[in-house]
Chains A and B, each alone.
Chain A
């Protein structure tokens, strides 16, 4: 074979339609479009089977098929002749392919209805370039010649230098906030990714919450995703990375199937479609689980409007960085930060500026805090904010220590792995986004002061 299967990697990403032809034993051909072909090695590909359809029946009779593949950018075509070898119903390949299907199902409200039946493995017998499908043009060669990754770190070993820079920044981070900054800044700067977010896992509620992000503007912190929900939730549940190169196409595919299910006996199992987090028009996503010592710590999610932004290479490479970041996050979460021995209350309390006012309202039903009628934060960070606001407004104090928050039974912090630091980071970021005139300012290790340029009024409401 003059063309290697690995030369066609971009063609497997499903951006443009892939045709598959089969033939029954009575000589009747069949043709349909595939959503996804998975490269396994130089001689094998896998197709996902979600329905027992005519292609599958033909293959059971006559195991040879022909595939028409096109490059998603240049549209140059290749014809593959493949032969069915076996179906896998469990194992790493099945799990990996099922994850992609689960994500589509979850987004389009079809969890439990639309699922992978088998990962079908085929041997590649022939690879034939289709000459004359596209007119020759210098542009095609130009596009293909572009390097897959635009490293900001230059040099003969740019990729290693980028990984080293990222690793160094993570290693040097002294606290969780600096660590998350290092991870997000390194990812976006060194790997030329504009949109990235880190979500941490709250074990007590089985949910992920966005701690920090880059490229989404203000207001992203605190957004939550349930375990198993959508792309991020599915990655968190499976603890396996996932790369989607054609998010729009996947959703259209999922919706087409959903329309079919709507008219079937399984229609009552459908649930609502879940909005995509982050960019509404993202075309490619790479989501990496942050796992340390077998425990889910969180998720690093990257997005792009470029449908081919992330390659296999990105997935492997950034997974190394994600693993190191996960260990560092877990270490910082598990060690209680040493506190400075000085007593609280030594910093100067600021006076509010004349005429500026803020009204905070607490809703005990879900521990939600609103500021000037706008949602600010809820759950445990909401309870923490309400405690410090009350003590601040009553004039008692304006400095607080992490230790006293841990010892306050009314706040209900879990006895182990309380993630207090990440919750305080989230609270600080939400205040920065929603009311920057009220701030939580670190005054020394393990302690912070509440500062306000506004006069604060507090109220509680039983009505949600």
Chain B
């Protein structure tokens, strides 16, 4: 069973282990970027890996559907990623600036495969039949690493959007 998030996050300087476990548990993951005219783009991503320094995260995006996302990131590097546990809508948003974009390595693909399997379970929980959920494509993918500048509560409700931690 997942722990409640907000009390565990507040006051942390970096992404702590509990939050990292939550973010890497196979959730619905959406990525926002924007172009030079400030037109935003939204894409469903595979999942997020929290890096060892707990200040960087890597989000995996499916190449075929994320061309606009990758182009936007190449232009300005601004990224927002929201991860939501569909059964109870607990959600967190990470915002930051991209430091590295590269085709996924074998280790990346292993992580992405695990996140994708978790998301498939989530979406089946809300009623999608396995014969359709198992058709979701996620390979080949890119690994997009970004410096986490701010963490926001994103669970629907009066506290949604509250900044839980901003990088110094």
In whole angstroms, what is the CA distance A22 to B82 when docked?
Answer: 13
The answer on a CB contact under 8 Å between B28 and A140 is: no
Q: Which of B17-25, B48-56, B88-96, B102-110 contacts A (4 or more CB under 8 A)?
A: B88-96
Across chains A and B, the number of contacting residue pairs, with CB separation under 8 Å, is: 184
The answer on a CB contact under 8 Å between B44 and A54 is: no
The answer on a CB contact under 8 Å between A32 and B154 is: yes
Q: Which of A37-45, A70-78, A90-98, A292-300 contacts B (4 or more CB under 8 A)?
A: A70-78
In whole angstroms, what is the CA distance A411 to B107 when docked?
Answer: 79
Determine the chain B residues whose CB is within 8 A of the CB of A81 once the complex forms: 39
Determine the chain B residues whose CB is within 8 A of the CB of A253 once the complex forms: 89, 156
- Nearest to A54 among chain B residues (CB) is B161
- List B residues 57-115 near A (Cβ within 8 Å): 62, 64-65, 76, 78-82, 84, 86-91, 93, 95
> What's the interface size class on B, roughly?
35 or more
Determine the chain B residues whose CB is within 8 A of the CB of A27 once the complex forms: 34, 38, 76, 78
In whole angstroms, what is the CA distance A16 to B28 when docked?
Answer: 10
- Nearest to B89 among chain A residues (CB) is A256
Determine the chain B residues whose CB is within 8 A of the CB of A268 once the complex forms: none
The answer on a CB contact under 8 Å between A23 and B34 is: yes
The answer on a CB contact under 8 Å between B88 and A15 is: no
In whole angstroms, what is the CA distance A15 to B133 when docked?
Answer: 13
**A248 in the interface (beta carbon within 8 A):** yes
Which residue of the partner chain, among B65, B86, B154, contacts A132 with CB atoms under 8 Å? Answer: B65
**A68 in the interface (beta carbon within 8 A):** yes
- Nearest to B123 among chain A residues (CB) is A16
Please report whether the interface of chain A is mostly helix, strand, loop or mixed according to DSSP. Answer: mixed
**B117 in the interface (beta carbon within 8 A):** no
Determine the chain B residues whose CB is within 8 A of the CB of A143 once the complex forms: 132
The answer on a CB contact under 8 Å between A257 and B40 is: no
Kindly name the residue among B79, B89, B128, B131 whose own CB sees the greatest number of chain A CB atoms within 10 A.
B89
**A21 in the interface (beta carbon within 8 A):** yes
In whole angstroms, what is the CA distance A181 to B16 when docked?
Answer: 61
The answer on a CB contact under 8 Å between B132 and A140 is: yes
The answer on a CB contact under 8 Å between A19 and B80 is: no
The answer on a CB contact under 8 Å between A21 and B40 is: yes
The answer on a CB contact under 8 Å between A72 and B128 is: yes
In whole angstroms, what is the CA distance A62 to B34 when docked?
Answer: 12
The answer on a CB contact under 8 Å between A17 and B86 is: yes
**A156 in the interface (beta carbon within 8 A):** no
Kindly name the residue among B31, B38, B81 whose own CB sees the greatest number of chain A CB atoms within 10 A.
B38
The answer on a CB contact under 8 Å between A67 and B42 is: yes
The answer on a CB contact under 8 Å between B28 and A23 is: no
Determine the chain B residues whose CB is within 8 A of the CB of A79 once the complex forms: 41-43
In whole angstroms, what is the CA distance A139 to B80 when docked?
Answer: 34
A15-B126, A259-B157 as given contacts; A30 in contact with B38, CB under 8 Å:
no
**A130 in the interface (beta carbon within 8 A):** yes
Give the number of chain A interface residues (Cβ < 8 Å). Answer: 61
In the assembled complex, how far is the CB of residue B104 from the closest CB belonging to chain A, in whole angstroms? 16
**B164 in the interface (beta carbon within 8 A):** no
In whole angstroms, what is the CA distance A67 to B42 when docked?
Answer: 6
Determine the chain B residues whose CB is within 8 A of the CB of A134 once the complex forms: 132, 135-137
The answer on a CB contact under 8 Å between A31 and B157 is: no
In the assembled complex, how far is the CB of residue A17 from the closest CB belonging to chain B, in whole angstroms? 5
Which residue of the partner chain, among A17, A33, A135, A261, contacts B158 with CB atoms under 8 Å? Answer: A261
Determine the chain A residues whose CB is within 8 A of the CB of B34 once the complex forms: 21, 23, 27, 29
Which residue of the partner chain, among B33, B38, B81, B126, contacts A16 with CB atoms under 8 Å? Answer: B126
Determine the chain B residues whose CB is within 8 A of the CB of A70 once the complex forms: 44
**B160 in the interface (beta carbon within 8 A):** yes
In whole angstroms, what is the CA distance A31 to B104 when docked?
Answer: 24
**A346 in the interface (beta carbon within 8 A):** no
In whole angstroms, what is the CA distance A77 to B82 when docked?
Answer: 18
Determine the chain B residues whose CB is within 8 A of the CB of A354 once the complex forms: none
In whole angstroms, what is the CA distance A134 to B84 when docked?
Answer: 21
- Nearest to A50 among chain B residues (CB) is B156
The answer on a CB contact under 8 Å between B159 and A260 is: yes
**A332 in the interface (beta carbon within 8 A):** no
The answer on a CB contact under 8 Å between A75 and B62 is: no
A23-B39, A33-B30, A255-B88 as given contacts; A133 in contact with B137, CB under 8 Å:
yes
In the assembled complex, how far is the CB of residue B56 from the closest CB belonging to chain A, in whole angstroms? 18
The answer on a CB contact under 8 Å between B80 and A137 is: no
In the assembled complex, how far is the CB of residue B22 from the closest CB belonging to chain A, in whole angstroms? 15
In whole angstroms, what is the CA distance A75 to B131 when docked?
Answer: 11
A138-175 interface bits toward B, Cβ cutoff 8 Å, 1 = contact, 0 = none = 01100100000000000000000000000000000000
In whole angstroms, what is the CA distance A25 to B39 when docked?
Answer: 10
A35-B156, A261-B157 as given contacts; A19 in contact with B44, CB under 8 Å:
yes
A135-B135, A249-B126 as given contacts; A260 in contact with B158, CB under 8 Å:
yes
4 more A-B residue pairs beyond the given contacts A17-B30, A19-B32, A260-B158, with a C-beta to C-beta distance below 8 A: A29-B95, A62-B38, A133-B65, A257-B158
Q: List 16 A-B contacts (CB under 8 A).
A: A17-B84, A21-B42, A31-B42, A31-B80, A31-B81, A31-B93, A51-B158, A53-B160, A68-B42, A74-B135, A75-B136, A139-B132, A246-B126, A257-B157, A259-B4, A261-B157
